[in-house]
Structure 1
């Protein structure tokens, strides 16, 4: 179940109240005095490792071995590829920063000083040194600047925005929120950080990362997305929501229901902004940012991340960001330096036999195969199973539970082959994918870039193979340019 209780705060954790006044909230920001119970004022929740904000200080909660295993896994487990394993290799990737007053990049997490508690969570997560995007984004965001970053998925960009946001939350404490009267189930959440992303897979993964880095702190992260039980999501945000990760459509729904206010937002993050526009979310995004109670551009920090920088993204940056710094990690719109790309000419009738040859030859590790249609995803998965290869598939017609089960089977290597449609091309954070096969090439080069970005992540190397024939002539020019 994706909506696990956050282990970053007490049970109230995010801005509830019971009197028509303002009060600072910490850890447990729900004023129980309004309901005839003694106020807890930020005390610990369930004894599960939650922290608190007390007397102007962040007091981390005690360690919880069970939760640590759930969040961070078993240290030095040879079967798990930790996200920080090869980040040292990133130093060869070029980084360009432009804008007024660009701060010097950092080389360690201790400079500029991130919160000590955050650094301990970063170490538990397996990070050793900042990635290139983090080296620049940490001082940029800590310095109060807006950021437009072009970086590939897998470059450590999630940490690039979570680290400085959480560091400042741990240091500065919670914001004041308006108290409300009425039934408890009608309470409204007042998050201070909002992260928008295009798909339920991506928001779930960002949420999981936020849970790691907010472990034992007063900050309670929550996640909401479409295609899941909204009642369950409402119950989660009612328990407190300091940092909200959301898809645009579901967030608009919750705003319309009067269950979320954006008036306290200090940090707005748009992750995979190009993909959100590709999926038609621009009206919802503009409504969220410009048409609700979101603080204006000058009163918040806005961070945008995109793998590409087309004109519509440039216009969005112009409208949403102020005096921003532009950060390019690697060539804008390019593929990761860690991916070896192979293009094979294969007629459609020969694709299955060539795929079998590849799997027999390069079968070790996780293999992700992209196809164009839902029917082909199921058909090819069934074919591989009949050929003795443990495989599974995901596509848009699968239920959320089926998708999550398939992804878990793939991540755990019980089914080391995953056949997927484009719905899964963005946002999947599976660090040890060794091989991506474009069984069906997409017609758009940006889709190709995002697909093969599932391998070569977190500083690790990967292989991407594409089947090409005369039916793919429309993408030839862009593909050749990309391979230069």
Structure 2
């Protein structure tokens, strides 16, 4: 039964979908689910991909996953047209039978009325052999009221044309193939995998009691997971797709209730999801569309064992999509274990680079100069705009925030030791501009999408160049301009050479002191540093 009918009919009437029927998985003593076939893993080595073996798929119910039909305007593009479009939008592709990119939303082929009717009729005939079943005809009539359900949400969101990752990623994802998508932060990756996910969900049978989700999105942080959920809610509303967000730091009760009621999409951090699986509150037997968002960050945070444990519980013929801003060797190795015959799309250079819309300033300072330099900088740039300041440690984050507030600056902090309620409150205050300065650890470096962040300040230089790029990427989003300031000390000298490369690639001015440090010269003598501590915005008065 197609899901294009808006879930208006009785799901129990379509086919036998008992919680443990037809999926070839059994529950182990630890509460996990394992394939009853010989192997549930899909591995390829050095490009020699191997498909899931037939024995792996015994007992698994077939499912729809190829929904792409090339539009006439896309089909009319010549190879030279395609090459020129990809060159102009910095799109690089790899894989067999790569589809042409789309230039407009209408070219994507997101479902409309014809798709709705055809899917319903097809499943009526296949499942029942009776196109005159009254209940199904009623469902078809209900579907007529949900024309272009994905396009409706695109129009509502005010999008004018696909971003490069969407233009090439949508056809790839809609064809049902595994996909690796690499693009800088703020490039539209979330929508690139969520809209095909919604199409995928609508083509699957209804959830039955005891069923887990159809789509699983794994994210490294609570903040990113919540933002993905917001987009899933917005774009899934027209077709009544239910979702929930599973993450730690909050009571389990509401999340458990959502899972027990049944949701088509689960967005989760790995640790809390495993907790839910081991507690038997959900299962992954129905997952046919798996997304790993910010895969490189998840590995940086040590989630590889949890990811492997989760992936091994999902049917081997699923569609898997890896999305990331970088493609380090560790992520590539993990992908080789779980992707079959994937497409790969890279936006921009595969080398690490920063968003060219961000003006970058790097100043070499000594450690004991940082706070005074920060206050002087705030005095120069503070105009009520949102300013995000990154620290390396939770302790340092709290200390600097406390000192800023004592000096009259409107600052709040966010880091991993804060309760989820406090983190949500701080983010809401920051988004609303009530507290325009927020200090943060790298918990906010990826996925945090706050509009109108005008300045990013690296009070402490991060532990990797990838994190530097992600941190400054909190500004200059969605075509806007932004500015990033970075305090660079002698302790960071090992990053100087690669940082210079990033600055030069983005056309930024590089200070002679940084150039000298990149060549191995000792850092310059500490600048002044005798300046009195600033009095904060408004002469030390509380923010008004």
Give TM class, smaller chain: 0.7 to 0.9
* Aligned with residue 343 of structure 2, among 305, 325, 343: 325
Q: How does 1:4-15 map to 2 (within 5 A)?
A: none
Residue number among 438, 445, 466 corresponding to 2:465 in the alignment: 445
CA distances 1:196-246 after superposition (whole Å, capped 9, x unpaired):
011111111100110010113221111101111112210122222101101
Q: Between Structure 1 and Structure 2, whose CA radius of gyration is higher?
A: 2
Candidates 265, 279, 285, aligned match of 2:287: 265
Aligned partner of 2:408 in structure 1 is 388
Q: In 2, Cα distance between the equivalents of 1:92 and 1:482?
A: 21
Is the CA contact (8 Å cut-off) linking 1:195 and 1:245 kept in structure 2? yes
Equivalent pairs counted in the alignment come to: 396
On the 8 A contact 1:21/1:178 being kept in 2, the answer is no
Q: Distance in 2 between matches of 1:252 and 1:17?
A: 29
* 3-state SS of paired residue (2:108): coil
8 Å CA contact 1:392–1:406 kept in 2: the answer is yes
CA contact (8 A) 2:260 2:282 kept: no
Q: For the structure 1 residues 280 and 17, does the alpha-carbon distance in structure 2 shift closer, same or farther, using more than 3 Å as the test? A: farther
Tell me the residue number matched to 2:501.
481
The alignment status of 1:225 with 2:221, answered yes or no, reads no
In structure 2, the partner of 1:43 is none
Superposed counterparts of 1:227-266, under 5 Å: 227-266=249-288
Cα distance in 2 for residues equivalent to 1:217 and 1:455: 33
- Paired residue for 2:304, among 282, 291, 300? 282
Task: Identify which of 441, 464, 467 aligns with 1:421.
Answer: 441
Q: CA deviation at 1:9?
A: 12
CA distance in 2, matches of 1:340, 1:431: 17
Say if 2:489 is the partner of 1:469. Answer: yes
Q: Secondary structure at the match of 2:485?
A: strand
Alignment of 1:295 onto 2:315: yes
Residues 211, 286 of structure 2: 8 Å contact kept: no
Q: 2:325 aligns with which of 282, 293, 307?
A: 307
1:341 aligns with 2:360: yes
Equivalents in 2 of 1:339, 1:101: separation in Å?
Answer: 36
Equivalent residue, structure 2, for 1:161: 193
Given the superposition, is the C-alpha separation of residues 93 and 459 from structure 1 closer, same or farther in structure 2, using an over 3 Å criterion? farther
5+ unaligned residues in a row in structure 1: which ranges?
A: 1-7, 25-89, 180-187
TM-score by length of 2: 0.69
Matching residue of 1:75: none
TM-score (norm. length: structure 1): 0.77
Q: Is the contact between residue 9 and residue 218 of structure 1 (CA under 8 Å) also seen in structure 2?
A: no
Distance in 2 (CA, whole Å) between partners of 1:461 and 1:175 is 45
1:262 to partner: Cα distance: 1.4
1:394-414, Cα deviation, whole Å (9 max, x unpaired): 112211111110011001111
Q: Please give the residue correspondences for 1:164-175 in structure 2 after superposition, counting only pairs within 5 Å.
A: 164-170=196-202, 172=203, 174-175=204-205
2:178 maps to which residue?
A: 146
Is contact 1:175-1:192 (8 Å) kept? no
Instruction: Give the SS at the match of 1:22.
Output: coil
Which runs of 5 or more residues in structure 2 are unaligned? Answer: 20-85, 112-147, 505-544
What's the offset of the Cα at 1:304?
0.2
**Counterpart-to-counterpart distance in 2, 1:381 and 1:327:** 41
State the SS of the aligned residue for 2:217: strand
Q: Secondary structure at the match of 1:358?
A: helix
Give the Cα–Cα distance (whole angstroms) in 2 for the partners of residues 198 and 140 of structure 1. 24
Q: What SS does structure 2 have at the residue aligned with 1:110?
A: helix
Q: Which residue of 2 aligns with 1:108?
A: 104
In 2: Cα distance, 1:136 partner to 1:178 partner: 34
TM-superposed CA distance for 1:91, in Å, is 9.9
